[in-house]
Amino acid sequence: MEQQVSYTLDSTLDTVDHAEESATRIATELGFGEDEVMQISMAVREGAVNAVLHGNQYAPDKKVTLAFERTPEDLVITIRDQGRGIDLNGIPESARSGNLLKTSGRGIFLMRSFMDVVEIRPSQTGTEVKLIKHVHVKSVATRRILSEHET
């Protein structure tokens, strides 16, 4: 993966699938383990669902921006919608309010559970969610280079 890649996507369920598939591919390419790849993919899926459904409300004129950036320490994923913004005080604490068994309302809880850092920045022109997973393993490219030099 290049250091940064971004996509501008429509507000459809296809966007959610594309976001999850991209996260799986990129996390795998970067050498994350199977469990971490699943966690990253699920967090991105939840963020994309929130952007399409709650943020943009499926509006055909509104877009979702999805960006992946690899820093030396982290994989940083940014998901931005063009909705009215989110009221952070209106988000229930999933574990305490019983939302864990509901079919909706646990996306932010899951993102926070799966990622090392979750930042939510609401504004009048949309909400930006930054998902950060710390790199704990060497990338696939680094492993390949090292294995080529082993004797």
pLDDT tens-digit profile of 20-68? 999 999 999 999 999 999 999 999 999 999 999 999 999 999 999 999 9
How many domains are there within the chain? 1
The answer to whether the Cα torsion of 8, 11, 14, 18 is positive or negative is positive
Residue 98 sits in which domain range?
Answer: 4-149
CATH of the domain at 142: 3.30.565.10
Q: pTM of the predicted model, to two decimals?
A: 0.82
Element (H, E) at 42: helix 34-49
Q: Which two tokens stand for residue 129?
A: 């969610």
